[in-house]
Structure 1
Amino acid sequence: MSIRKLVVALCASATLLSGTAKAAPLTLEQITALAQSGVGDEAVVAKIKSTGTHMDLSVEQMLELKKKGLTGPILAALLDSPATAPTAQQFSLTSPDPAVLHPAGVYLLDAGKGHMVRIDPTTTNQAKTGGIFGYALTGGLASASIKASIQNASARVHAAERTPTFYFFFDESNPQVGNAPSSWASGTAATVTSPSEFTLIKLITKDGRREARVGSMNIAGAKTGVMDKDRVAFDYQMVRPGVYKIQPKAELAPGEYGFLFSLNGMGNGGALSARIFDFSI
């Protein structure tokens, strides 16, 4: 082996063994040097995969590389190895750029500070009824309401603007990462793919908690779902696959709000399974 090839092989081997070296796709010269150095097929294949090295080799190139000592497993790794998937370090929780990878979830854009704030979902922990006395007293002429109750009097995330901007990052925004951190990983959120599956609602603050009206009933019948007067209209547009920009259609009055999942079943059962991405103005 020439001195030049030995140096290349030693450098490549050092990179292979180093846990701190920055992984970069290999060149054909480096791969050939590794194969000829005797480090073994398993080590060369592992290095190809860890660096995401991929080459669309022609038949002629494969035959030539075979003559230079590249074995079948090494050639197969070169042809099959996908591009390296993003690592956890490549995700951002605060970047204001929606083109940057973010763990799936709901984010508020804080334009004043130039970053995004991730909103963790709040699960409703109680379902209750209101107006029962009036309902009973009037023989059902007055309505009784069903409410989903959320702990704490105010959300942890505060929007400084009256027309805040939000970004929804769905799992589709990170197609290369099958196990990326996600806010959609449990409950009724498992298959959420669009902002159209959410309702923006105005929450009622009462006795140190917040409530959302999710049903009503009177002598004429019963209704389930968020009450019309509690709904807040919003627009959304796709920024890139799996990423949407959301804004209310009008300025929001000071108070408590939240993006609520479309509830199935509603009533007490639906209220208890609701997940709300809450914020305050």
Structure 2
Amino acid sequence: MKARRVLVALAMMAAALPVAATAETLTNDMVVALVQAGLGDDAVIAKIRASAGHYALSTDDLIALKKRGVPGPVIAAMIESGSQGAVSAKAAFSADSPDPLAPHPSGLYLLSGPRMVRIDPTTSNQSKTGGILGYAFTGGIASLSIKAVIPNVTARVRTKHGRPTFYFYFDEATRGLSQAGSPSLWLSGPASAITSPNEFTLIRFDVKKDRRETRVGSMNLAGAKAGVMDRDRIAFDYEQVTPGVFKVMPKADLTAGEYGFLYSVSAGAGPGMWGNGTGSARIFDFAVHP
């Protein structure tokens, strides 16, 4: 008899578990309903603090709540609950999770085995010209090339895969979430408007004694061109994983060497196409060494 009572009690507890595990999530409309039911500010605020919430809290949403009769202290409790959710989101950020759907700080990542590696941009503040003699001897018929130069003979981030996988995380993917102490790369300058990998150029570097360089312009009698030449571009495919997150892969295997995604080329101050021979290019550089 006693054993039967224990079994009955266990069955009742098991039956109650799904109910207890089903957490109620409050919304704007549910809060309005609680207020209109006349529960009072203290009771509604207690409910907000004790429950999960998924609130719309833009300026227009707050005005709409006030017009529907939600008191200021209740709205404040909703905002406070929403900010606590942002703190939880901050803790959930990961800079190396291989899951592309996991929140990552904005930036460009290489998928390397069981983790992602963030690639920081290298800024080229130095440029050089090539083919000057040919340009001079032919009176400008032969082209003079302009090259962006970055230091060191190899990139900090390397991969053994000839066709590596990259993930681009733009600000759309992290909008409303804390960057967890890691600032966005796309918040200022010309990069602030970039929302697609299609605005990048994949290039290969020529390795010299103590530097890497790539052509970013040319000039001859026919005129001047700024930016990466079509024949120097390396084709790649991309697909959107989720808003603000893109998977990127080269269309063909990359041979051993130094590469980079270039997204900004700007001229320096002064006359001429490259402003006194100086310019600026930001490049996410990586190396392929099978």
User: What's the TM-score bracket when you normalise by the shorter of the two chains?
Assistant: 0.7 to 0.9
Q: Which letter does structure 2 place at the counterpart of 1:279? A: F
How far off is 1:245 after superposition?
A: 0.1
Q: Where does residue 277 of structure 1 map in the other structure?
A: 284
Q: Where does residue 119 of structure 2 map in the other structure?
A: 119
How far off is 1:131 after superposition?
A: 1.0
Q: Which letter does structure 1 place at the counterpart of 2:74? A: L
TM-score (norm 2): 0.71
Q: 1:230 to 1:70 in 2, by over 3 A?
A: closer
Following the alignment from structure 1 to structure 2, what is the Cα–Cα distance between the partners of residues 232 and 64?
65
Following the alignment from structure 2 to structure 1, what is the Cα–Cα distance between the partners of residues 138 and 185?
44
1:65 and 2:72 aligned: no
Q: Where does residue 161 of structure 1 map in the other structure?
A: 161
Q: 1:73 to 1:185 in 2, by over 3 A?
A: closer
How far off is 1:73 after superposition?
A: 4.3
Q: 1:137 to 1:97 in 2, by over 3 A?
A: same
Would you say the 8 A contact 1:54–1:78 is kept in 2?
Answer: no
Q: Which letter does structure 2 place at the counterpart of 1:116? A: M
Cα-to-partner distance string for 1:50-84 (whole Å, 9 max, x where unaligned): xx986622446555421866684443334555632
Q: Where does residue 219 of structure 1 map in the other structure?
A: 221
Identity of aligned residues (%): 52
Would you say the 8 A contact 2:35–2:41 is kept in 1?
Answer: no
The equivalences for 1:13-162 within 5 A come to 56-59=30-33, 61-66=35-40, 72-79=71-78, 83=82, 84-85=85-86, 86-111=88-113, 114-162=114-162
Q: 1:163 to 1:246 in 2, by over 3 A?
A: same
Q: Where does residue 242 of structure 1 map in the other structure?
A: 244
Following the alignment from structure 1 to structure 2, what is the Cα–Cα distance between the partners of residues 68 and 198?
54
The equivalences for 1:151-190 within 5 A come to 151-177=151-177, 181-190=183-192
How far off is 1:179 after superposition?
A: 5.8
Between 217-226 and 188-197, report the one with greater CA deviation. 217-226
Q: 1:271 to 1:200 in 2, by over 3 A?
A: farther
Following the alignment from structure 2 to structure 1, what is the Cα–Cα distance between the partners of residues 41 and 274?
72
How far off is 1:204 after superposition?
A: 1.1
Q: Which letter does structure 2 place at the counterpart of 1:100? A: A
Would you say the 8 A contact 1:54–1:82 is kept in 2?
Answer: no
Q: What value does the CA root-mean-square deviation take over the aligned residues?
A: 2.8
Q: Where does residue 36 of structure 1 map in the other structure?
A: none
TM-score (norm 1): 0.73
Ranges in structure 1 where 5+ consecutive residues have no aligned partner = 1-26, 29-51
Would you say the 8 A contact 1:108–1:165 is kept in 2?
Answer: yes
Q: Where does residue 57 of structure 2 map in the other structure?
A: none
Q: Where does residue 5 of structure 1 map in the other structure?
A: none
